[in-house]
């Protein structure tokens, strides 16, 4: 979709009679390839511009997340997590966190191979897993309120963070992966400094609603006009939405000051819980996705960059 007009440019259609629900999608930094993870247990790679299906992996399990590694020009790996699933053809697939090499950088055709599988040492099912700084670690979140950091070479558990008092729902990083923000149903978001050896809790943002996602402005490190802002979103649980008005469901996106832990403003739009948030790479707007079935594209006007309340 175009962010300026919200016009749909194309669609990535998986082959097969009954493709499953898509839980996650990621794009390479050079916008050459797209990968999707589905409930049918398949990882599917597409050419970004043409929509051509270039590789399929029968991963197994109910796939919940996928992300390309972060090395520019060498995004040959993906990390994934899946829920336990039992089928007649494959038997029982356990809860897993995995790393796959999907492209060797030498041959033209993708070559899929498994590099790492964390299952026996996985305490419970992970809801998301992302690469840490320099592609050296994996960071996963869990419904039990924990964040676990893993060594991506050996699969060894490096650190367990008792991050929240409720399910951890969102996990995002700054561009250099040195700052991490987590969101939770316990109505808080937390900012972490990912310095070795131990991540340090830096800030806590206490809100009045369950949170489903949080994101750090890419302009926080801008040399000329830094914006120390974080985006938070969530709202009343989807099963309770019909019992209240949209205004009381608290479905607005919120902008908070990263340092002062104060709410700067809210942006209305959705009439259901907000499930995901993402800043534009230039920090001049953001995209939100909600339970109401809408994807909303927001562009900041000049006041955001010139007026004192938004500094």
CA geometry: angle 46, 169, 186, nearest 5 deg: 170
Band the pLDDT of 244: cuts 50, 70, 90: low
In whole angstroms, give the CA distance from residue 185 to residue 73: 37
At 277, list the tokens: 């948030």
Dist CA 142 CA 137 (whole Å): 17
Asked if residue 217 lies in contact with residue 227, where contact means CB atoms within 8 angstroms, the answer is yes
Rounded-to-integer distance, Cα 172 and Cα 182, Å: 7
Domains (range + CATH), the chain: 17-162 (2.130.10.10), 167-311 (2.130.10.10)
Nearest to 258 by CA among 212, 204, 198: 204
Write down the mean pLDDT value for the chain.
91
Q: Contact 154/164 with Cβ under 8 angstroms?
A: no
- Please tell me whether residue 220 adopts helix, strand or coil conformation: helix
Residue 249 has pLDDT above 80, yes or no: no
User: Quick one: what percent of the chain has pLDDT higher than 90?
Assistant: 73
pLDDT 10s digits, 22-44 = 999 999 999 999 999 999 899 99
Whether this model's pTM surpasses 0.95: no
Residues 265-308 pLDDT 10s:
999 989 889 999 999 999 999 999 999 999 999 999 999 988 87
Using pLDDT thresholds of 50, 70 and 90, give the confidence band for residue 197: confident
Token pair, residue 135, equals 């592609």
Residues 108-133: tens digit of each pLDDT? 778 889 999 999 989 899 999 999 99
């Amino acid at each position: 979709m175009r962010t300026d007009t919200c016009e749909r440019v194309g669609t990535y259609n998986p082959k097969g009679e009954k493709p499953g629900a898509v839980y996650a999608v990621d794009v390479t930094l050079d916008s050459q390839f797209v990968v999707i993870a589905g409930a049918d247990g398949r990882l599917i790679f597409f050419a970004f511009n043409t929509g051509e299906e270039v590789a399929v992996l029968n991963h197994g399990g109910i796939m919940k997340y996928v992300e390309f590694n972060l090395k520019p020009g060498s995004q040959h790996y993906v990390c994934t997590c899946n829920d336990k699933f039992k089928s007649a053809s494959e038997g029982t697939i356990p809860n897993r966190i995995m790393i796959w090499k999907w492209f060797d950088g030498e041959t033209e055709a993708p070559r899929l191979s498994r590099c790492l599988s964390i299952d026996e040492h996985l305490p419970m099912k992970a809801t998301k897993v992302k690469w840490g700084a320099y592609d050296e670690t994996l960071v996963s979140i869990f419904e039990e309120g924990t964040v676990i950091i893993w060594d991506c070479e050996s699969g060894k558990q490096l650190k367990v963070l008792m991050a929240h008092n409720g399910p951890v729902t969102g996990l995002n990083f700054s561009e250099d992966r040195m700052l991490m923000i987590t969101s939770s149903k316990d109505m808080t978001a937390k900012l972490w400094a990912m310095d070795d050896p131990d991540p340090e809790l830096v800030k806590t943002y206490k809100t009045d609603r369950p949170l489903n996602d949080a994101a750090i402005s890419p302009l926080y490190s801008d040399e000329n006009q830094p914006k120390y802002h974080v985006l938070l979103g969530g709202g009343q649980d989807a099963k309770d939405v019909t019992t209240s008005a949209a205004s009381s469901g608290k479905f607005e996106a919120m902008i908070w000051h990263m340092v002062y832990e104060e709410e700067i403003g809210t942006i209305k739009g959705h009439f259901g819980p907000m499930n995901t948030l993402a800043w534009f790479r230039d920090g001049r707007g953001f995209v939100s996705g909600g339970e109401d079935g809408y994807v909303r594209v927001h562009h900041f006007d000049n006041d955001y960059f010139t007026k004192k309340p938004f500094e």
